[in-house]
Structure 1
Amino acid sequence: MGVRGRKPEKRSRKRWIIAIAVSFVVLLVGGAGAIYLKLNANIATFDSAGLSKNRPSAAAADANGDKAENVLLIGSDTRAGENGALGGSASGPVGRSDTTILLHVYPDHKHAVGVSIPRDSLVDIPPCLLPNGKWSPDQPNAQFNSAFSMGDTAKGNPACTQNTVEKLSGLRVDHTMVVDFAGFASMTSAVHGVSVCVPNDIYQGDMNPNLGYKGKIVLHKGTQSLQGQQALDYVRVRHGVGDNSDVGRMLRQQAFLSALISKVKGEGMNPTTLLPLANAATKSLTVDSGLGSAKKLLSFGLSLKNIDLKNIQFITAPWKYAGARIDLVHPDVDNLFAELRADRTLEGVNASGKTTTATPKPTAPPAIDGKGIMVSVYNGTVTDGLAGKGADKLKAAGFEVMNVTTAQSQDHDTTRIEYGTAPDAKTQAETVARLFPGAQLVQLDTTGVNVVLGKDFAANPTATAAPTPATPKPLPSTLTQQARSADADPCSKLSYG
């Protein structure tokens, strides 16, 4: 009897152990669910209705479902809410894009390139959806960061910036993320600071040139860990460092992102690090609907885990000063984006994830037929008779030449193909451009197509077709040498000048 009496006690103890274990699992799952719901509730999205109706084609996936992904990162300088305390409220609450980087993740998911686009660069802004439900007109030769301000709202217009980047690059943007001052500061605090190199002492007067005096040191020279307001000061300051320009500070922003990526990857999948960062990030970000959940953000983040730091590179779109603004340098910027569209790295390495067993034979481009297309030709150089040569070339291909004369200015380095707003205007301009490889296409309020010949045509007036994809032209070393990898010396390439 005594032995039989002890058996229920063992069974009872076992049941309690199982009950405690089950309860513990339920508690863990419930806690994870609460965290998941909290992260989901943090995320703000913007409406995809504002995206262009004429977007570049989506990248094709291979047999394994792998494809390139393009992610647009936008830093907003709105002073709305707590951002005013961090960036100063004098500029008002309207959101403007302070920083914009197009991140191209290659199909092999072992390489990535971030291209910084200067905020003051002159670009063509396509129609954008405004808060009143109307679409804006085309804006040729407009300042890039004005795209984000279309509609004059505190939250900005990320769809308009995405439309502009897609038109500039020819790449379809898969995802867009917007972060403001407060979000940036909180994310740097969530990882307990990022190690960066300050090139020289930074004073209060550098942060605020209107202060009228030098003031105290805000950031000391040397390598140090920065977070919160200090990290924000580091990436925003432009006076007292390098050439004192907006575009110059972009190099420090690239260096900071490199250091942030290095720290997160270095600590691995550590919940102690990732959960506070995820909480700060989701509270800070406004994203497209395709990233509008914690699960989607996590999935995207994990897709980048196998990229070595040395294969994550940052570069600034080729540029030059144009008075108080910046001109993007063509065809260099076009060639850069062409390399990304072809999934070649800055060094020309095939990062498509596909192995090539044989070099494909170049195929002859289709014949150029200019029938029914009216063109006016302008000599944009000091080379005599150039407009006539251009006109002869067009006539030989069947184009109808309307005018042959001298352009208003004769300092064009690159040939321009100008076209109007008619439905078939761009297609006609692209047909004309096949006779002038490397030409820049520009939409204006005009009729027909205008060809403004540049020095590139004067140097080689017989060229008719761009190089075939089988023989890609490598990017110039002057451009590729400007790139920095995420594992670069933190004190290198911090500013121009």
Structure 2
Amino acid sequence: MRRSAGIRARHARAPRVWHRVLVALGLTLAMTFVGVGAAAALLYRRLDGNITQKSIDEALGTDRPTNAPAVEEKHEPVDILVMGSDTRAGDNGFVGGDEVDERSDTTILLHLSGDRQSAYGISIPRDSMVEIPDCERTDGKGRTYRSDGSLHMFNEAFTIGGAACTVKTVEHMTDVRIEDYVVVDFKGFTSMVDALGGVRVCIPEAINDRTGNISFAAGPHNLKGEKALDYVRLRYGIGDGTDTQRTVRQQLFIAAMIRKATSKGILARPDKIYSFLDAATKSLTTDMSISSLAKLGREVQNIGLGNIAFTTVPTQEWPVDRNRLIWTSAADGIWEAVRTDQPLPGQKVKRTSTPSPTPTPSTAPTPRVQTAPKDVKVKVLSGTGSLADAETAAEALRARGFQVESVELGEQTGVTASVVRYDPRWDESGRTLATSVIGATSEQVEGLWGTLELVVGSDWKGVRAVRVGATGSGKPSPSATPLELRTALSDTCA
């Protein structure tokens, strides 16, 4: 979205982006390990000390989504959240600006398929309005952040609670379980580019951004260091000045970076490989070790560059503020593809072997509700005469975030169809529960107050995910529909 801005110093904090290109770290590390092969086993022992390893499992808790399991695959699908930290601390001071709060304006979900023959990165716009769930704070403003159900800019999650809060927010909004995370800073990006000897891009027309004091002549460029950072942060003085268009340019830069890192000129030079990995790992905070990255790299050796895709969550203007975004219904198809380990809508994967059967994603989008499951209290009653059936339903509700207050035998037995009972004054809570319980009917009952009742019938099919928030309306942004896809073969210089 376009915003007004005054004249700012080079590399100043605003406009707040530098950005999504740092997902290249996750992909190029894995892809480079593929090319290095046996040499990686020798290298990772020397590099392991560079990484800042930090587990966030305790902060994430146990109430988390479960993705569809792999079907007759040797490996499980892997979802990694890649974040860029905009800290100015330490070696990052060269960027300038006086930003106090640390944010992640770069967030991309990287999905590696269970058959290890395809991958895709999904950029999540920082301006997306989302509900940030309860999470432990790291910003010094208390111990725990308590959600009030209101919407906030997505990148505020990192300010509140770092990587853990961002992961929880993504899981809350998408119902996708994140297996691992990666955070990298400014210095890491410039060092990686320099270690590769620069990255080649072609600029179709001259750029003169007076806001950031950045200029480029038209034509091919081999960008290094701070010039590369200038290019991927650039917003004004080119195109329509929107964040959406910049995302496309950054994804093309990622593609060029992957091609360079996996080119023969790099893979044939152990010194260049080591320099690149050394630069990358020194700026890395993650829950993964070098050995696990090396193992992952060996597993994805069949992924061709054409099978690595990039896209951005489809968005539209938020009616409350045209400078903010909300996700469109097209985003539901993306998250369904991730959960069920399917290609992105419109993505064509060239396989090196006959794929094993995989789950068929549901064609229906994840339903939306106004009241979050965590705010709904439920008494679970067995309508089959078996308390075990009610316990099964209660466990499924807890897994989706509902507050199960009690589990009991109901007065009726032989109930075939599950029923949600709710007080009319709690109609939104009733709608959330009825929408979540697959195949359930609903019934209004005066006097139940705030605790709903679920009568479990013999037709029990489980609890589906729901998405919280208004659908809104507005003019779709360029990333809305159709879904825009780029691959690692996409080349601005072709």
Instruction: Confirm or deny: 8 A CA contact 1:319 1:326 kept in the other structure.
Output: no
Q: 1:126 and 1:440, CA in 2 relative to 1: closer, same or farther beyond 3 A?
A: same
Question: Is 1:147 paired with 2:157?
Answer: yes
Instruction: Find the residue that maps to 1:140 and give its secondary structure.
Output: coil
Tell me what 1:46 maps to.
54
Partners of 1:284 and 1:453 in 2: CA distance: 38
Partners of 1:175 and 1:44 in 2: CA distance: 14
Instruction: Confirm or deny: 8 A CA contact 2:340 2:359 kept in the other structure.
Output: no
Partners of 1:368 and 1:329 in 2: CA distance: 34
Partners of 1:358 and 1:144 in 2: CA distance: 30
Partners of 1:358 and 1:340 in 2: CA distance: 11
Shift of 1:126: 1.1
Question: Is 1:125 paired with 2:126?
Answer: no
Partners of 1:334 and 1:373 in 2: CA distance: 28
Partners of 2:203 and 2:111 in 1: CA distance: 28
Tell me what 2:303 maps to.
307
Instruction: Confirm or deny: 8 A CA contact 1:193 1:227 kept in the other structure.
Output: yes
Instruction: Confirm or deny: 8 A CA contact 2:47 2:278 kept in the other structure.
Output: yes
Tell me what 2:144 maps to.
135
Question: Is 1:181 paired with 2:186?
Answer: yes
Tell me what 2:388 maps to.
none
Instruction: Confirm or deny: 8 A CA contact 2:317 2:324 kept in the other structure.
Output: yes
Question: Is 1:373 paired with 2:422?
Answer: yes
AA aligned to 1:115 is I
Partners of 2:276 and 2:442 in 1: CA distance: 61
Q: 1:33 and 1:308, CA in 2 relative to 1: closer, same or farther beyond 3 A?
A: closer
Partners of 2:108 and 2:159 in 1: CA distance: 17
Shift of 1:69: 0.7
Shift of 1:273: 2.7
Say which one has the larger Rg.
1
Shift of 1:97: 0.6
Instruction: Confirm or deny: 8 A CA contact 2:315 2:327 kept in the other structure.
Output: yes
When normalised by structure 2's length, the TM-score is 0.65
Tell me what 1:6 maps to.
none
Tell me, which stretches of 5 or more residues in structure 1 are unaligned?
Answer: 1-30, 152-156, 209-216, 380-386, 391-395, 403-421, 429-433, 444-451, 456-476, 493-497
AA aligned to 2:110 is L
The count of residues paired between Structure 1 and Structure 2 equals 369
1:201-240 → structure 2 map (5 Å cutoff):
201-203=206-208, 205-207=210-212, 218-240=215-237
Shift of 1:142: 1.2
Q: 1:184 and 1:356, CA in 2 relative to 1: closer, same or farther beyond 3 A?
A: closer
Q: 2:241 aligns with which of 234, 241, 244?
A: 244
Tell me what 2:485 maps to.
483
Shift of 1:357: 11
AA aligned to 1:223 is P
Instruction: Confirm or deny: 8 A CA contact 1:318 1:332 kept in the other structure.
Output: yes
Instruction: Confirm or deny: 8 A CA contact 1:187 1:281 kept in the other structure.
Output: yes
Tell me what 2:444 maps to.
400
Partners of 1:376 and 1:176 in 2: CA distance: 42
AA aligned to 2:170 is V
Instruction: Find the residue that maps to 1:398 and give its secondary structure.
Output: strand
Tell me what 1:460 maps to.
none
Shift of 1:377: 9.7
Shift of 1:115: 0.6
Instruction: Find the residue that maps to 1:148 and give its secondary structure.
Output: helix
Tell me, which stretches of 5 or more residues in structure 2 are unaligned?
Answer: 1-38, 364-414, 435-439, 456-460, 474-478
Partners of 1:372 and 1:130 in 2: CA distance: 37
Instruction: Confirm or deny: 8 A CA contact 1:104 1:340 kept in the other structure.
Output: yes
RMSD over aligned CA atoms reads: 4.0
Instruction: Confirm or deny: 8 A CA contact 1:219 1:230 kept in the other structure.
Output: no
Q: 1:442 and 1:160, CA in 2 relative to 1: closer, same or farther beyond 3 A?
A: same
Q: Return structure 1 stretches of 4+ with deviation > 6 angstroms.
A: 31-34, 348-353, 357-360, 376-379, 422-425, 452-455
Tell me what 1:200 maps to.
205
AA aligned to 1:171 is V
- For residues 158-190 of structure 1, the C-alpha deviation after alignment (integer angstroms, 9 at most, x for no partner) is 111111111122111111111111110001111
Partners of 1:357 and 1:161 in 2: CA distance: 29
Shift of 1:245: 2.5
1:90-129 → structure 2 map (5 Å cutoff):
90-92=98-100, 94-129=101-136
Partners of 1:127 and 1:397 in 2: CA distance: 31
For CA contacts below 8 A with separation 6 or more, give which structure has more relative contact order: 2
Q: 2:253 aligns with which of 245, 256, 275?
A: 256
